[in-house]
């Protein structure tokens, strides 16, 4: 089965073609970072308009680059949620219209399921069951995964997601949007031992997260060090390093607890923050001690992309699932409400 995948949940327009036998045949991505940077965050109306402007040209680009004609597409998968409702509607309405015109089925895909399954695109994919850390700008969750659609939420952030905390820390340090990569770059030049920031909720049992207190601690530290309202470059680097260390340590501690709780020996990390090299390195050390394995997608498939939607959609379509003609998008959509599919 050859599936065209469309991702438009937030500020990146992604299109890809995945073939159940040949694998990923082509993908293209347009990022709106430059559009939203001057506002310090995503402006939903601008995001929707940019998806309208870029989506069809990207579809044509991927069809051409993969040597695929429209009559070779067997189905269309699009992100149906969670995400910004206007942005979701662009991808859903376009995907549904193309499927109707081509006479093929279409399916709405859960955005976070797409992230969770993105490591399956790699040469050495994980095998079920495993523990998944979904860590992005909007989500920080630990999930027990026993198959596609068989998800049990173990823990999640009670306030800010880790990616959101990175963005807010970046603003405090005068860095550009998106904040995660900028904080990581600044942290590379910092002294990681100068400050000891708190590791939230690690002094109590459980695998839930909280990053709002860490955000406040970071702000207070920055304010104390300002001279005439300005942070020195050294202070900025050291604060970035301390903040990144605190987030990475917290995530690693909770992941270790989740592995011990489930008894599983595979850990998957997915979502934009999973591209953070410090996090990957720390988790590699942790899983080695736990005699487990770590899996993640290549960096370009950690952030939002069409390939993960095409893959996830393909798995459900091959199991006989599809969406009806109505266009239904869900800005909020619990992943544990998804229908499981039987693995072959």
Question: How many angstroms separate the CA atoms of 67 and 81, rounded?
Answer: 30
- 114 annotated as a binding-site residue: no
- Dmax over CA atoms of the chain, in Å, equals 65
- 180 annotated as a binding-site residue: yes
* C-alpha closest to that of 91 among 105, 101, 106: 106
- 137 annotated as a binding-site residue: yes
Query: DSSP secondary-structure letter at 100?
Result: H
- 20 annotated as a binding-site residue: no
Burial class of residue 291 (count of CB atoms within 10 Å of its CB; 0-12, 13-18, 19+): exposed
- 263 annotated as a binding-site residue: no
Which secondary structure element, helix H or strand E, spans residue 135, and what is its range? strand 130-135
CB 99 within 8 A of CB 327: no
Question: How many angstroms separate the CA atoms of 125 and 323, rounded?
Answer: 28
Q: What are the residues whose beta carbons fall under 8 Å from the beta carbon of 211, sequence distance 6 or more?
A: 140, 157, 159, 160, 161, 162, 164, 165, 200, 247, 250
Question: How many angstroms separate the CA atoms of 127 and 268, rounded?
Answer: 10
Question: How many angstroms separate the CA atoms of 218 and 270, rounded?
Answer: 25
- 207 annotated as a binding-site residue: no
- 179 annotated as a binding-site residue: no
- 220 annotated as a binding-site residue: no
Question: How many angstroms separate the CA atoms of 109 and 306, rounded?
Answer: 11
- 36 annotated as a binding-site residue: no
Cα dihedral 236, 238, 241, 242 sign: negative
Residues at the annotated binding site? 111, 115, 134-138, 167, 180, 276, 304
Annotated binding site for Fe cation, which residues? Answer: 111, 115, 304
Could you list the residues known to form a binding site for substrate, using ranges.
134-138, 167, 180, 276
């Amino acid at each position: 089965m050859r599936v065209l995948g469309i991702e438009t949940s937030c500020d990146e327009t992604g299109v890809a073609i995945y073939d159940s036998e040949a694998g990923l045949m082509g993908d293209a991505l347009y990022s709106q970072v430059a559009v939203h940077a001057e506002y310090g965050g995503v402006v939903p109306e601008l995001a929707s308009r940019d998806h309208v402007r870029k989506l069809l040209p990207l579809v044509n680009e991927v069809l051409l680059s993969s040597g695929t004609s429209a009559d070779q597409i067997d189905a269309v998968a699009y992100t149906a949620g969670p995400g910004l409702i206007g942005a979701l509607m662009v991808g859903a309405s376009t995907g549904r219209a193309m499927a109707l015109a081509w006479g093929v089925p279409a399916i709405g895909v859960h955005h976070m399921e797409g992230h969770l399954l993105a490591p399956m695109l790699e040469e050495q994919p994980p095998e079920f069951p495993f523990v998944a850390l979904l860590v992005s700008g909007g989500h920080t969750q630990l999930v027990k995964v026993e198959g596609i659609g068989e998800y049990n939420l173990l823990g999640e952030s009670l306030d800010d997601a880790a990616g959101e905390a990175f963005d807010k820390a970046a603003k405090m340090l005068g860095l550009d949007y998106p904040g995660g990569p900028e904080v990581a770059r600044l942290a590379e030049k910092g002294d990681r031992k100068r400050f000891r920031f708190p590791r939230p909720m690690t002094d109590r049992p459980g695998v839930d997260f909280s990053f709002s207190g860490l955000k406040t601690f970071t702000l207070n530290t920055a304010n104390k060090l300002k001279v005439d309202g300005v942070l020195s470059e050294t202070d900025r680097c050291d604060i970035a390093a301390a903040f990144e260390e605190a987030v990475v340590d917290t995530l690693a501690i909770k992941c270790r607890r989740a592995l011990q709780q489930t008894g599983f020996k595979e850990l998957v990390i997915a979502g934009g923050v999973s591209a953070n090299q410090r996090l990957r390195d720390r988790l590699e050390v942790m899983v080695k001690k736990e005699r487990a394995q770590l899996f993640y997608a290549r960096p370009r498939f950690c952030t939002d992309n069409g390939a993960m939607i095409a893959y996830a959609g393909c798995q459900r379509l091959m199991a006989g699932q599809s969406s009806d003609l109505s266009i239904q998008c869900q800005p909020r959509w619990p992943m544990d409400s998804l229908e499981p599919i039987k693995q072959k």
